Amino acid sequence: MSEPSERKLAVDVRGVTRVYPGLVNALAGVDLTVEFGETVAITGPSGCGKSTLLHLLAAIDSPTTGSVTVAGQDLARLRDPSAYRRKEVGLVFQFHNLLPQLSALSNVEVPMFGTHASARQRKARARELLADFDLSGCEHRLPTELSGGERQRVAIARALANAPRILLADEPTGSLDSVSTTRFLELLDRLGGAGMTIVMVTHASDVAAHANRIIEMRDGTIVPSVPVSAAPIAYR
């Protein structure tokens, strides 16, 4: 496959809109670039389009207008979208989306199907990831037999299964307790330090504080950031 010669951005979103049936303008003109190695936190009120934007980056949804380019690939022209989803990005869904009929171990193995990993390698990697998230002993439980926080940790482990270059995480700490949140933040710092690009949606300011950049969304658009020098003077 030919690689563009210019330096590639991890994410290049241009003029993107997403109109859902019923004329819901979930995204109303979004431009966003993220460099490789950046950790970006997206914040904003409920319904402002955060999950919609992550779904476009993960190529599980397409924009109504505009273009989405990830790691130099125009997602509208992907030859093999499932290979893209398997290799380039790991997505932690807001509501986990674990496969209900599969054990925790098998859920983490799912993204590794279709790769060169043998069954033995898949299981070893899945066990290792579950152990990283304090889930040893839960391997054979179904999602319904796990707590909300445990499910969320399985979902994070699954997103990391193929060591993606880009991690997309939608409220990854939404149902984690403070101990698990701290561990997740340590992991985030470790992954960011190792060069992974991370785009996460979060309402939690302590989580957003671990990002290099915080992006605020409102009504389907990105609120322009105000340089500190241009910020209005606060009067008494």
List the one residue from 15, 20, 113, 118 that touches ligand ATP (CB under 6 A): 20
Residue number with CB closer to ligand ATP (44 or 192): 44
Q: Is the Cα dihedral 20, 26, 31, 37 positive or negative? A: negative
CA distance 224 to 175: 30
Please report, as residue ranges, which positions from 136 to 175 form the binding site for Mg ion (by CB under 5 A).
Answer: none
Residue 196 near ligand ATP by CB under 6 A: no
Nearest to 32 by CA among 8, 52, 13: 13
Residue 113 contact, options Mg ion, ligand ATP, none, Cβ 5-8 Å cut-off depending on partner type: none
Residue 51 near Mg ion by CB under 5 A: yes
Residue number with CB closer to ligand ATP (50 or 158): 50
Residue 17 contact, options Mg ion, ligand ATP, none, Cβ 5-8 Å cut-off depending on partner type: none
Stretch that binds ligand ATP, among 21-29, 105-113, 124-132, 137-145 (CB under 6 A): 21-29
Please report, as residue ranges, which positions from 42 to 71 form the binding site for ligand ATP (by CB under 6 A).
Answer: 46-52
DSSP structure class, residue 152: H
CB 214 within 8 A of CB 208: yes
Residue number with CB closer to ligand ATP (126 or 217): 217
State whether residue 214 is helix, strand or coil: strand
Please report, as residue ranges, which positions from 85 to 104 form the binding site for ligand ATP (by CB under 6 A).
Answer: 94
Residue 2 near ligand ATP by CB under 6 A: no
Q: How far lies 183's CA from each of 11, 157, 188, 197, 225, in Å? A: 27, 13, 9, 18, 30
Residue number with CB closer to ligand ATP (125 or 151): 151
Please report, as residue ranges, which positions from 140 to 169 form the binding site for ligand ATP (by CB under 6 A).
Answer: none
Q: Is the Cα dihedral 135, 136, 142, 145 positive or negative? A: negative
CB 130 within 8 A of CB 154: yes
Please report, as residue ranges, which positions from 75 to 134 form the binding site for Mg ion (by CB under 5 A).
Answer: 94
Residue where the block lists tokens 């949606």: 201
Query: CB nearest Mg ion: which residue?
Result: 51
Residue 232 contact, options Mg ion, ligand ATP, none, Cβ 5-8 Å cut-off depending on partner type: none
Nearest to 48 by CA among 201, 204, 227: 201
CA distance 90 to 95: 15
Query: Applying CB under 6 A, which residues contact ligand ATP?
Result: 20, 22, 24, 26, 46-52, 94
Query: Applying CB under 5 A, which residues contact Mg ion?
Result: 51, 94
